[in-house]
């Protein structure tokens, strides 16, 4: 996975971070993380590429948007960007749903490290029942954990494992056994170690 060094800034703030971004990741995933880092969680935002002054489209990968090493990426509130470019009509930005606690801990780790942005991974659980439903669980991993994601769930005294277990209890009609949790976790970790950002698993 190729990464490049960039500078992250918050529009109208003194906040600045030196980060490394994975070029095969989506702009949307990193922008949502970046909003948290600069304190713009409650606003619709866009990423502005300093080299061109243009907003980056959420549906592109960083490589497709021509993000390069040394670029400055600014998180700007949509209203602020419209004020500067009145002829530009911004795309509708979908409301952001809050990630599980593990996502917030991951962002805090990136802020304290100041050198590496985290890579998002998503677990999609399809509950097989007459009223079939689908639930999503997100985590964000440092590069150190990507080859051995099990260590992430064992970190912090097993807190991340407990977060996942609590999430499963909240969506299932029964209390999942340790064996059931471990099966899901093993399959997800295997996918992560193979580089898959999204894993879909059925569960009863």
Query: Which residues, listed in sequence order, are joined to residue 63 by a DSSP beta bridge?
Result: none
Give the range among 63-67, 69-73, 101-105 with minimum mean pLDDT: 101-105
- The greatest distance separating any two alpha carbons of the chain, rounded to the nearest whole angstrom, comes to 57
pLDDT at 104: 36
Residue with tokens 């996918």: 191
The CATH number of whichever domain residue 21 belongs to comes to 3.10.20.90
Strands 133-141 and 119-127: antiparallel
pLDDT of residue 191: 92
Provide the b/e sequence for 2-20 (b: ≥16 CB within 10 Å): ebbebebbbbeeeeebebe
C-alpha triplet 145, 184, 103: angle, nearest 5°: 45
Tell me which of 180 and 88 has the higher pLDDT: 180
Does some domain include residue 133? yes
92 located within any domain: no
Verify that 124 and 184 share a domain, yes or no.
yes
Same domain, 127 and 199: yes
> Is 94 within a domain?
no
Residue 113 is assigned to a structural domain of this protein? no
CB 192 within 8 A of CB 146: yes
Task: Find out whether 124 and 202 touch, Cβ atoms under 8 Å.
Answer: no
Q: Provide the number of structural domains found in the chain.
A: 2
Judge if 80 and 132 occupy the same domain: no
Domain boundary among 84, 106, 140: 84
Residues 63 and 136 in one domain: no
Q: Do residues 131 and 192 share a domain?
A: yes
Q: What is the pLDDT of residues 144-180, one digit of tens each?
A: 888 899 999 998 788 899 999 998 988 888 888 999 9
Last residue of a domain, one of 65, 84, 103: 84
Is there a single domain that holds both residue 181 and residue 132? yes
- Please indicate, yes or no, whether residues 76 and 28 belong to a single structural domain of this protein: yes
Domain that holds residue 189: 118-203
């Amino acid at each position: 996975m190729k990464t490049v060094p960039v500078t992250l800034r918050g529009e109208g703030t003194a906040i600045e971070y030196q980060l490394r971004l994975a070029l095969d990741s989506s702009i949307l995933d990193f922008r949502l993380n970046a909003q948290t880092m600069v304190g713009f969680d409650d606003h619709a935002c866009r990423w502005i590429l300093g080299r061109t002054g243009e907003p980056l489209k959420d549906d592109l990968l960083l490589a497709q948007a021509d993000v390069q090493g040394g670029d400055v990426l600014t998180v700007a509130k949509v209203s602020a960007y419209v004020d500067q470019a009145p002829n530009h009509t911004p795309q509708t930005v979908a409301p952001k749903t809050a990630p599980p606690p593990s996502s917030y801990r991951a962002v805090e780790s990136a802020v304290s490290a100041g050198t590496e942005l985290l890579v998002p991974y998503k677990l999609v659980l399809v509950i097989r029942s007459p009223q079939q439903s689908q639930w999503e669980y997100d985590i964000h991993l440092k590069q150190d954990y990507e080859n051995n994601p099990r260590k992430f769930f064992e970190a912090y005294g097993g807190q991340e494992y407990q977060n996942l277990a609590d999430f499963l209890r909240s969506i299932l009609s029964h209390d999942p056994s340790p064996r059931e949790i471990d099966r899901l976790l093993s399959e997800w970790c295997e996918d992560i170690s193979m580089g898959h950002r999204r894993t879909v698993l059925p569960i009863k």
